Amino acid sequence: MIVCAQILTLLIPWDGLDDLLVFKKILGGEEIMRPKIPHATPDITDARWNKIEWCWSVDAPRRPSALMIMDFLTRELGALIVVFGQIGDGKSSVVNLLAGEEKANTSPDMGRCTMCWKEYFMTFDGRSYKVFDTIGLQHPWLGIEEYLEAIANARNLITRLENEGGIDLLLFCVRAGRITGVIQNNYRLFYEWLCEKKVPIVLVVTGLESEERMEDWWTRQSQALVKYEIFVDGHACITAANKLSGRAQEMYEDSRRLMRRLVREHTHDRLERCNGSDGRKGGDGWFRKVIQGPRELLQGDRSVGKKDIMDILTQRCGMPPYAAAKLAREFRKTGR
Q: Please, what is the Cα angle at 211 between 210 and 217, to 5 degrees?
A: 130
Closest CA to 251 of 238, 264, 263: 238
User: Is-contact 134 46, C-beta < 8 A?
Assistant: no
Burial 182-205 (b: 16+ CB within 10 A, else e): ebbbbbbbbbebbbeebbbbbbbb
What is the enclosing helix (H) or strand (E) of 83? strand 79-85
Tally the C-alpha atoms within 13 A of residue 16's C-alpha that lie toward its C-beta: 1
Q: What pLDDT, on the 0 to 100 scale, is given for residue 251?
A: 96
Kindly give, in sequence order, each residue whose CB lies less than 8 Å from that of residue 301, ignoring residues fewer than 6 positions away.
Answer: none
List the strands of the sheet with 169-175, edge to edge.
118-124, 127-133, 79-85, 169-175, 201-206, 234-237
Q: What pLDDT, on the 0 to 100 scale, is given for residue 303?
A: 43
Q: Domain 78-285, what fold?
A: Rossmann fold (3.40.50)
Q: What pLDDT, on the 0 to 100 scale, is given for residue 1?
A: 54
Q: What pLDDT tens digit does each residue of the chain (336 aa) get?
A: 566 676 666 677 777 788 888 778 777 777 777 776 655 555 666 777 777 777 877 777 878 887 777 766 666 667 899 999 988 899 999 999 999 999 988 765 444 555 578 899 998 988 889 999 988 776 655 567 777 777 878 888 887 887 667 889 999 999 999 999 889 989 998 898 888 888 999 999 999 999 999 999 999 999 999 999 999 999 999 999 998 888 999 999 999 999 999 999 998 776 555 544 433 344 443 333 333 444 444 444 444 455 667 777 777 777 777 777 777 777 666 554
Q: What pLDDT, on the 0 to 100 scale, is given for residue 307?
A: 61
Q: What is the pTM of this model?
A: 0.70
Q: What pLDDT, on the 0 to 100 scale, is given for residue 71?
A: 65
Q: CATH 3.40.50.300: which residues of the chain?
A: 78-285
